Each structure stands twice: as C-alpha cells, then as structure tokens.
Amino acid sequence: MHQVYLSIGSNIGDRQAQLHQAITALQADPAIEVVRVSSIYETAPVGGVVQDDFYNCAVYLRTSLSAAELLQRIQQIEQQQKRRRLIHWGPRTIDLDILWYDDATIKTADLTIPHPEMTQRAFVLVPLKEITVGLKQQQVEKLIQALPAAQRVTKIRDEHV
C-alpha cells in the first residue's frame, strides 16, 4: 500500500458540498482507503487571478493504485464534478492535487510529485500540517514558517474521517 497526501480545493458553487463529494468518491473506490481528512479552510485565491475565495482541505489516504492510476482516478472525479479548465489557476468546482506519493520523486509529462507549488501555498500547507505527524509534520511546519507573505487561511469547520 502506498501512502498519499492530496490537496483538494473548490471555489464554485457549494464549496463544502463539492469537497465532501470528492472525498466520498475517493472513499467509494475499493483501491483507496481514506485515513484522515483535515478541517476545511476558507482561503484567499493565490496566483493572481481575481476570483472567489476557495475552500481547501488535505487528505491522507492509502492506496494500491500507482501514481499514474491515482491521477487518472482524481481526474475522473474532477470530470464527474464538471470541472472546466477555462483560465489557468482560475475558478473551479473541484481540484485534486497529489502532494506526496510515498517518498517518491516523479517527473513525467502528466505528473510531478512532490507537487511543485505546494511549498509556496498556505492553503496546502496549513491543512496538511493537521494530518501529518512526526518528521513530516515538522517539515510542513518549517515550510509554513518560510512562506514569503501572509496568505489568508481561516478554519471554518472541523472535518475528520
């Protein structure tokens, strides 16, 4: 079994329902065991596109899927939730990003792991800190302390599997 951390975000429609629907879809997959879900945070959009605030959370799961198979699965979930890619880093009903897959470093045309933007994103790191322990949590804490500027991240709801 592989140990995987995901970041999930939504800023279109009922954002909490969108996050919940994506997590439910992960739990429904027999090859995926969702072990821990962070609280939900309301977060200011990062990346320069003027858009509504996001809801973000982080998920720790175990899976027998390969990284490429997991990517396919999360893209199916995004399609089921009618994600439309119109503007890069623009609004989306749902977005699932693979942050870590075991301690692997992966670089293919479709997949880069660890996620290349995660170290710059409080909306990723703050939820991730909640669901990591030990050395991983210390690593995340250091990344949070090193973030360049204050990014608004406000806990709105505890969420635990």
Ligand X SMILES: Nc1ncnc2c1ncn2[C@@H]1O[C@H](COP(=O)(O)OP(=O)(O)OP(=O)(O)O)[C@@H](O)[C@H]1O
Ligand Y SMILES: Nc1nc2c(c(=O)[nH]1)N=C(CO)CN2
Please identify every residue annotated as catalytic. 83, 92, 95, 97
One of 34, 94, 97, 143 touching ligand X (CB under 6 A): 97
Kindly provide the residue ranges of all beta strands, DSSP E only, lying in the chain, ordered along the sequence: 2-10, 32-37, 40-43, 54-63, 95-101, 106-107, 112-113, 153-157
Residue 123 interacts with, from ligand X, ligand Y, none (CB under 5-8 Å by kind)? ligand Y
Q: Is 112 in the site for ligand X (CB under 6 A)?
A: yes
Number of residues that bind ligand Y (CB under 6 A): 11
Strand 32-37, strand 106-107: pairing:
unpaired
Cβ count near 97 (within 10 Å): 19
The least distance separating ligand X from the CB of residue 88, rounded to whole angstroms, comes to: 6
CB distance 2 to 17 below 8 Å: no
Which of 17-25, 30-38, 45-53, 72-80 is the region at the interface with ligand Y (rule: CB under 6 A)?
A: 45-53
CA distance 93 to 25: 15
The token duo for 161 is 């599997």
The token duo for 92 is 């989306």
Q: Is 85 in the site for ligand X (CB under 6 A)?
A: yes
Q: Is 64 in the site for ligand X (CB under 6 A)?
A: no
Which residues in this chain contact ligand Y in the complex, by CB under 6 A?
9, 43-47, 54, 56, 89, 95, 123
Which residues in this chain contact ligand X in the complex, by CB under 6 A?
71, 85, 89, 95, 97-98, 110-113, 115, 117
